[in-house]
Structure 1
Amino acid sequence: MSATLCALILTVSALIRAVSGVLGGPTNVTLSSNNLNLVLRWKPPNGAPRGVIYTTEFKSTVASEYRKGCVNISAPECDLTSFNITEYGNYTGRVQVLLGAESSLWVESNHITPDKDTVIGPPEVSVLSNGQTLEVSMTDPKFSHSSLRNVFISASYNITYWKKGQKDKSKQIAVTQTRVILNDLEPNSEYCVQVHIQTSQKPNQSILSRIICESTTDEQSLWVETGIVLVIMVVALVLVVLVMRNWRNISQFLFPKEALPQHFKDPHALLAKPRSSVYLVSSKPVEEFNQVRVVAAEEGRLLEEAGSVCSRQPEGGEGDGDVEKLKEEQTAELLPVDLISS
């Protein structure tokens, strides 16, 4: 039933447009402002054919005529911020639909004053744990015209913080500075922080920032961590001093100055002909030998007997001649034949 009704409405609107020769105008034409910009938005007309384009105009209450905005655009949006507007003006806009030679009637938007009606964005927030306290830092959102503090002189930050899991017991403080220390916190606990901007000119608050949670620590543990850091720094400093004082020895140990001879470094020098005239001559070794006589056991016994006889003779006695004769006989037996004959 609903599908049939929609088809009937589209058919009737198409017939009206064909009879009257006028396009249907855009719907929901709205002028809005975020961070002091000025944007005109709308929706295409019901049953609009493909290929339609739009032209926009705007004016302030102090001007009697409209000024051209975006012309012949296909997107249903026009940013009027760059058309020399001021944050204190009261503006209205209007949109017209175009299709070839056809055009719709102008459809006007609402009136808006940027400094009163703009939506202030969320501030940038960072939270840093410092022992049993939390340091909260805030940055203003960027504005299209001027800045937050120039337009909203009395702007302040509304900080809401609570112990995680206990948002119903949250606390709030309002400050104007961009850095705040939260010191009424419990040690070793996790707290969450959220901030928004409040101004006297605007009854409504800004968009809330994202929630950031950070844990506190114990003061004693903070001193322990600080002591560890100091010890590490002292040790590092001592090492640096020792290295600087003994750098010459260390560098000689790590990078010795002794170098290889040049002829070892150059591979061509190893293959080159030696400069010395003395060469090692490799020739067949010459064998040298002497004649050796093997003495039989009987001959050895005779020599021993001769020695014993000599030992029994008195010094300068009569047996000297016999002994000498016996030695000669034994010696003659030991000598080779060729030596005896000679």
Structure 2
Amino acid sequence: QHETVFRRMIQLIKDVCKLVSRALQPPRNVRITSHNMDLVLRWDPPEGAASGLFYTTEYNTSVSVYKVGCLHITALSCDFTSLNHHITVYGQYTARVRAELGEEKSAWVESTQITMDRDTMIGQPNVSLISSKSNIEVSIEDPEFRISELRHAYNYATYNITYWKEGQEEKAESISNIQQNRVILDKLEPWTRYCVRVQINTQRNLNPSEPSSVTCESTDKESPWVAAVVTFVVMAMLVTLAVVAVVHRKKMSHFLCPKDSLPQHFKKHLLEHPSSSIYLAMRDSHPPEEVYDQVSVIAEGNPMEEERPLEAAGTNCSSQPETTVGQI
């Protein structure tokens, strides 16, 4: 009799083990995360999970019971901030998830607790640089939070700015505890390219933000506002000229194309051909022919005298006979 009872107990244990082994396995690696003040539960599917699994999630706070989150989803995450639930910056949250297959439901698997302002991962800030002579202005834009804003969530948030000459990051310099979102890096070398990276630090959140992308700019570049001012002045002048032209278009039209005309008898006098006798004679006349006679000059006396010096020849000029030139 005792042996029979013992065998029945063994069979019952085997049956229970079979039922347990056949039960739907719960999700694995359940964790709750926050990035830029969102609240997301993530998990991995059960080991050896069958196809067609669904999941249901719930969440609670330190002062409330569990509330329904995502129902019958196939995704492996649930974003509670997108469900119009009242998630607060300073709240403490826990979440859980279970697997579902038809009428079968697995056991709930609960995450650890998260405190939003303390545990959220702050994203990278956006950084832009403006060069002006030997200075570089660093402009910082905070990451966008899903709920609230950085400066509202953290009363004391500062920037850590690291900068270096391009290619010399091992010699980088840093400026810490900066609260302004515009900072001037001065005393830089002229005509040199510098690179900048920024991180955000808070007192409540012990983890610094993700570092910004590395941004580089060269010194001694003309500031873009100069070109903007020049463009503005040129555009203003063009608009002014256009307005003046529209307002005074009649006066300008009269000035450029006057309506006053010469008297009719003036036009007739200017357009008709000259008819004076002198003009007609000059127009029709031919140049007069030139009449001339050929003249020859013959010298008398000893031909050898022609070879004497001019001074000697000059003393006898009065003794030479006169030469007569024929009249024309």
For each residue in 1:55-111, what CA deviation from the matched residue of structure 2 results, as whole angstroms up to 9, or x when unmatched?
001111222x21111010010110012321212121111111000011111111111
Tell me the residue number matched to 1:149.
Answer: 151
Deviation at 1:249, TM superposition (A): 10
What TM-score do you get using the length of structure 1 for normalisation?
A: 0.61
Q: 2:98 aligns with which of 96, 99, 104?
A: 96
Q: Which amino acid aligns with 2:78?
A: C
In structure 1, what is the equivalent of residue 193 of structure 2? 190
Q: Which blocks of at least 5 consecutive residues in structure 2 are unaligned?
A: 1-16, 260-328
Task: Report the equivalent of 2:210.
Answer: 207
Aligned to 2:77: 77
- CA spacing shift, 1:103–1:162, aligned 2, 3 Å: same
Aligned length: 236
Query: Cα 1:163–1:99, aligned 2, differ >3 Å: closer, same or farther?
Result: same
Which residue of structure 2 aligns with residue 325 of structure 1? none
Structure 2: how far apart are the matches of 1:256 and 1:74?
A: 85
1: CA distance, partners of 2:18 / 2:114: 32
Are residues 185 and 97 of structure 1, via their aligned partners in 2, closer, same or farther at CA, if it must alter by over 3 Å?
Answer: same
Q: Residue type of the partner of 2:142?
A: D
* Aligned equivalents of 1:52, 1:254: Cα separation in 2: 87
Equivalent in 136, 141, 153 of residue 138 of structure 2: 136
For 2:62 and 2:208, locate their aligned partners in 1 and report how far apart those are by CA, in whole Å: 26
Provide the rounded CA distance (Å) in 2 between the counterparts of 1:193 and 1:131: 17
Q: Identify if the C-alpha distance between structure 1 residues 99 and 186 changes in structure 2 by more than 3 Å, giving closer, same or farther.
A: same
Gap runs ≥5 in structure 1: 1-15, 258-342
For 1:80 and 1:115, locate their aligned partners in 2 and report how far apart those are by CA, in whole Å: 16
Q: Which has the larger radius of gyration?
A: 1
Superposition map of 1:1-342 within 5 A: 20-63=21-64, 65-81=65-81, 82-174=84-176, 175-217=178-220
Calculate percent identity across the aligned residue pairs. 47
Q: CA RMSD in A?
A: 3.5
Inter-partner Cα distance in structure 1 for 2:121 and 2:257: 68
CA distance in 1 between counterparts of 2:18 and 2:91 reads: 37
Write the distance in 2 (CA, Å) between the matches of 1:177 and 1:54: 46
- How far 1:137 sits from its partner (Å)? 0.6
Residues 29, 40 of structure 1: 8 Å contact kept: yes
Q: Deviations over 1:9-28 (max 9, x none)?
A: xxxxxxx7776542111011
| Matched letter for residue 32 of structure 1 | T
2-structure distance, mates of 1:134, 1:24: 59
CA distances 1:215-267 after superposition (whole Å, capped 9, x unpaired): 0017xxx59xx79x97xx79x969x87xx78988997999999xxxxxxxxxx
- What secondary structure sits across from 1:116 in the alignment? helix
Corresponding letter in the other structure for 2:35: N
